[in-house]
Chains A and B, each alone.
Chain A
Amino acid sequence: MSSRDSILSKIKSNQPVSVNELPGLSFLGLDKIDVLETYKTVLKGIGGFCEEVSSLEEVKAYVETKYPEAKRKITTIPELAVIAETNWDAHDPHTLQDVELAIIKAHFGVAENSALWVTDAILGQRVSPFIPQYLAIIVNKKDIVATMQQAYERIGNSDYGFGTFIAGPSKTADIEQSLVLGAHGARGLTVFLME
């Protein structure tokens, strides 16, 4: 017998005789919260920055003042092509190693933990939110949901090859529990909350 078959047959004979019912989830995540305020507070708490903007022009202006012109920037948003490279999605991912800032979009955000959901469809490359020194993500204010409960309702059975929730900059506390931002991923995260 292959390992597969022997493992499965052992599991079959050892698992409980009757199946325990799955609980429903619909009663979860119904607490009333101010979604936008919660989002902003939590994001600050985990080391992210928040900028409220009403147009991509404002994003452009912000990036131009905050990030040095000489350093490499990439984006998936065609309207930002004047300040950042756009056609990098088919390149070898290793070539992104010198990127200072990546500006991408998120499908939606989650208030309770300030996480942003991104997938292959809007990442350009899977490594794009991890490899740059700094990361900026644009999300519509109306696309913030309360909890992970609503988040998965929203994701539903949509198809993706890769998707990730990003909550704040990469961090570690592995040395004596001292929080350090910028472990292996981005050192800083700016979330643009779009009107």
Chain B
Amino acid sequence: MKNTIDHSTAAATFNKDVERVNWHDETLWFVRSKRDKSAHAIPEWEALRDTASKIKNNVLSNMHHYLQEFEAKAKENGIIVHWAADGAEHNKIVHSIIAKHGVTQMVKSKSMLTEECHLNEYLADNGVQVIDSDLGEFIVQLRQEPPSHIVLPAIHLKKEDVSDTFNEHLGTEKGNNDPQYLTEAARKELRDTFLTRKVALTGVNFAVAETGEFVVCTNEGNADMGAHLADVHIACMGFEKLVPERKHLGVFLRLLARSATGQPITTFSSHFKKPRKGQEMHIVIVDNGRSTQLGREEFRNSLKCIRCGACMNTCPVYRRSGGHSYHNAVAGPIGSILAPNLDMKKNADLPFASTLCGSCTNVCPVKIDIHDQLYKWRQVLVKEGYTPTSKTIAMKGMSAVLANPTVFKIAGKAGRFVMKNMPFMVNNNLNAWYKQREMPAPPEESFREWYARKAKESKDKK
């Protein structure tokens, strides 16, 4: 893996191309607006969110039982169940299944979990070629980039970029930027892939403890094309994907696509319960830090996430810094809560990549207290000594200032003086907030000065 560039540095680079950043910002806001329109059309939207949140709370508190129930039912249904403690074990299991069948190629539909585990790299090192079949993932894979968004993997790219990539790899016409034309080219290419792969891997959106079935949602139909044509279907899931009973799917399927893209439901919501005749079906249940997060009382709620991406689309920081700046498989607000659990040192910058405006919390379909958790992570990280340098200096300065009224007074005066007369002093790398922002014109007098003057004036009047 490459060295990690911290969020604010990566964001600064992303912000160099002003036009592109504005476009990125607007595109995601457009998706957020579609979500609003769709949500507002459901009178009981809030009741649905509330119910979903409660169901997930139940799942978290009864995980031990539900997982065993799910495993037993899945086995009864003829599915082979595997357990992986971490990413490395997950990768090994997947590879052993592929190796057993003596193949060197696999088709894969969207699975953020396999991104999290770096499965593609592992398989490539072991001589297995993986083709990502979701169009967005297919595009970024050709470009050797990670997805920048969990629902819209290529949202950071313009059609010109896609056209160049396809021209290079698929031989499409140079300069033809028509999305219809480009999609058709990928369709032709991938159809051949679907028809020739013996092993298909899919993600899992929901797994039902009661019945042992799992649900995969796509718009493109790529998960189904892969799974129904392959001899072997491998489905990989984080253990938090469970819901207790089949009927609970109704609540989540009503929320998921509306929150994600504003669609009333994804085109396909496929329920896999038993392998088809002659087919082999595997489920890999992965922990990879989730059980640790379950034990962190303040952060366990993050495991309720159904990966709709709404918190990213609405986040002012995500929209203006891009998914890659989060250097984690899951970007944006929720990614910034999940990442430090996996590696505090490497991801210490992420909980700071937020204005704590709370917009994420407001749109989250399962009511995760996202911005509160980001705030709490900051405290944990500071306590554990993992704060990113620029923030530490600013925060130390801040707490010294707030602790001492005289310094606070002088600091305020000095601050207004600096902003008026030497704005470049504020625009240094120690103040990340100045980047890409016009600082507001400083007021002529502070509230404190205004209050003192008013008090004096009224005293003088008497």
Residues of A within 8 A of B (CB): 2-4, 6-8, 10-16, 18-23, 25, 27-29, 31, 42, 45-46, 93-94, 97, 110, 112-115, 120, 125-127, 130-131, 147-149, 151-153, 155, 157, 159-178, 180, 182-186
Majority secondary structure of chain A interface residues (helix, strand, loop or mixed) = loop
B48 on the A face (CB < 8 A)? yes
A-B contacts counted at CB < 8 A amount to: 251
A25 to B155, CA, bound (A): 36
Q: Within the complex, what minimum Cβ distance (angstroms) separates A131 from chain B?
A: 7
B44 touches A174 (CB 8 A): no
| A4 nearest CB neighbor, chain B only | B83
Having A175-B183, A180-B180, one finds 9 other A-B pairs with CB under 8 Å, namely: A15-B63, A29-B44, A113-B265, A114-B264, A127-B225, A161-B276, A167-B263, A167-B269, A183-B222
A27 touches B47 (CB 8 A): yes
A120 to B51, CA, bound (A): 31
B385 on the A face (CB < 8 A)? no
A160 to B77, CA, bound (A): 10
A175 touches B194 (CB 8 A): no
Residues of B contacting A28 with CB < 8 Å? 44, 47-48, 51, 250-251
A174 touches B135 (CB 8 A): yes
A178 touches B58 (CB 8 A): no
A3 touches B246 (CB 8 A): no
B83 touches A160 (CB 8 A): no
Q: Within the complex, what minimum Cβ distance (angstroms) separates A49 from chain B?
A: 15
Interface string of B131-159 (1 = CB under 8 A from A): 00111100100000000000011110111
B222 touches A184 (CB 8 A): yes
Which residue of the partner chain, among B27, B50, B264, contacts A167 with CB atoms under 8 Å?
B264
B179 touches A176 (CB 8 A): yes
Q: Can you name 28 A-B residue pairings with CB atoms under 8 Å?
A: A3-B84, A15-B63, A20-B54, A20-B62, A22-B54, A27-B47, A93-B228, A112-B264, A113-B264, A127-B224, A130-B224, A148-B251, A151-B250, A152-B246, A152-B249, A161-B274, A163-B271, A164-B271, A165-B265, A170-B221, A171-B219, A174-B139, A174-B154, A175-B162, A175-B179, A177-B30, A184-B220, A184-B225
| B83 nearest CB neighbor, chain A only | A4
Which residues 209-267 of B have a CB within 8 angstroms of A? 211, 219-222, 224-225, 227-229, 239, 244, 246-251, 253-254, 261, 263-267
Residues of A contacting B51 with CB < 8 Å? 23, 25, 28
A127 to B191, CA, bound (A): 13
| A112 nearest CB neighbor, chain B only | B264
Which residue of the partner chain, among B58, B158, B246, contacts A20 with CB atoms under 8 Å?
B58
B25 on the A face (CB < 8 A)? no
Contact of A7 with B239 at beta-carbon distance under 8 Å, contacts A25-B247, A27-B47 already known: yes
Which residue of the partner chain, among B31, B220, B228, contacts A177 with CB atoms under 8 Å?
B31
Residues of B within 8 A of A (CB): 27, 30-31, 42-44, 47-48, 50-51, 54-55, 57-58, 60-64, 67-68, 83-85, 89, 133-136, 139, 152-155, 157-159, 162, 179-180, 182-184, 187, 190-191, 194-195, 211, 219-222, 224-225, 227-229, 239, 244, 246-251, 253-254, 261, 263-276, 285, 287, 291-292, 294-295, 297, 300
A164 touches B58 (CB 8 A): no
A10 to B295, CA, bound (A): 9
B251 touches A25 (CB 8 A): yes
A31 touches B43 (CB 8 A): yes
Which residue of the partner chain, among B47, B179, B225, B292, contacts A180 with CB atoms under 8 Å?
B179
A149 to B248, CA, bound (A): 9
A7 to B82, CA, bound (A): 12
B182 touches A6 (CB 8 A): no
Q: Within the complex, what minimum Cβ distance (angstroms) separates B309 from chain A?
A: 13
Residues of A contacting B191 with CB < 8 Å? 97, 184
A160 touches B271 (CB 8 A): yes
Which residue of the partner chain, among B67, B68, B261, B269, contacts A115 with CB atoms under 8 Å?
B269
